[in-house]
Structure 1
Amino acid sequence: MKYKVFIGIDVSKLTIDVHLHGIGASKTFSNEEKGFALFLSWVKKHSKQSEWRR
């Protein structure tokens, strides 16, 4: 199985930095419960807009 999109996540004390390589989307979220929920929602939104797998 070949994937077209990869996700990179950098977690620090204050933020969660995310990059979706393959579609060029990046975003920073706060490293707290609300930020994590927003992060999951953002990834789900982009996974529906993009073809993740071949």
Structure 2
Amino acid sequence: MDYKFTDNKKNLLDQIASCKQEWKSVLDDFFIKFNKQLITDKGASIEGGMQPNFIW
């Protein structure tokens, strides 16, 4: 679990609540990075994509 990720998102939400950050820009930034990660994860594991799940 990535506690830094969770803490960062909590801080961003606090900034949105106190009108120090615009919610649309926060969501745009998140989804741009998330989309890039999804594209990477579709690749083969040797190219940085996700490892296949094995059922024993």
Structure with greater contact order relative to length (CA < 8 Å, sep ≥ 6)? 1
Q: Which has the larger strand fraction?
A: 1
Q: Same fold (TM over 0.5)?
A: no
Q: Which has the larger helix fraction?
A: 2
TM-score by length of 2: 0.37
